[in-house]
Amino acid sequence: MRRNYISPEFKYVNINGTMNMTEQTSFFGSKMLDIQDSISILNENLIYYQDQNREQLNFSLEKNLDPIVYSSVNDKSSNHIIKSDESQSSIQLASNTKWNIEIDLNKILSNYIFATLKKYRTFEGVKNNMTIFNNTDSAINDYILKNVINRYKYKSVDFFVDYKPFSDDGSMKYKNTFDEIMNSSLITKKIQSILNESQGKLNIIFNQEKSSASYNFNYYFNLYFEKI
């Protein structure tokens, strides 16, 4: 038998498509996640099930495990900061304090989308070893970052304020509390909303209407996004 000394230049190896989470368009079309026209992040909880490896492979088995609960209230609480405006006068600080609330829109939106994908088991059947991160959750977050976040833009915010009187000792002065509020009568329009250049963060500027010497307040916000 005559030998062929020509060595192959290429070796073909099967690779899972989930190794690359960036969706590529082609002339013949491509797969793309079908997304909602709008997203409202209010006060809902999203519940999903997964196995101990955080994979979603068999719902019949996974539903017997403890559910994972995403709380939009807790997520918003963790991804914003509130502080008094450093440029205000001491007189304003002591009376009608100006507050800055900085909200991480991208983080809240991506967390909400992640929980939604998990709830509807969009990546069911994908194992950790089928992703470049060897971690399904990291791969899903990468998919959201590369393909979904940029398909939405911030639309509006509802900002709730509920004033609370405190005692004369002043120990609760400036002690404002983030708390779930859904009473529409407590929405205030007297705010200024500023998006940063990348539109990933929102700064709300708010002047306290009732005297800071006698009142602090509970506050909450709902976020609205729309598809580009």
* Structure tokens belonging to residue 18: 């989930």
Start-to-end CA span in the chain (Å): 65
CA 84 to each of CA 94, 175, 189, 202: distance values in angstroms, whole numbers, following the listed order: 11, 11, 19, 16
The number of CA neighbours under 13 Å toward the Cβ of 207 is 10
CA 105/CA 197 separation, integer angstroms? 13
Say which amino acid occupies 151.
R
At residue 4, the pLDDT reads: 58
At residue 34, the pLDDT reads: 78
The answer to whether 135 and 142 have CB atoms below 8 angstroms apart is no
CA 48/CA 174 separation, integer angstroms? 38
- Sort 124 into a burial class: Cβ within 10 Å, 0-12 / 13-18 / 19+: middle
Helix or strand run (H / E) with residue 65: none
Helix or strand run (H / E) with residue 87: none
The answer to whether 187 and 196 have CB atoms below 8 angstroms apart is no
CA 80/CA 183 separation, integer angstroms? 21
- Per-residue confidence of the chain (228 residues) as pLDDT tens digits? 566 555 566 666 555 666 666 766 554 555 567 788 999 999 999 999 999 999 999 999 999 999 999 999 999 999 999 999 999 999 999 999 999 999 999 999 999 999 999 999 999 999 999 999 999 999 999 999 999 999 999 999 999 999 999 987 778 999 999 999 999 999 999 999 999 988 999 999 999 999 999 999 999 999 999 999
Q: What 8-state DSSP symbol labels residue 18?
A: G
Strands 152-165 and 215-227: antiparallel
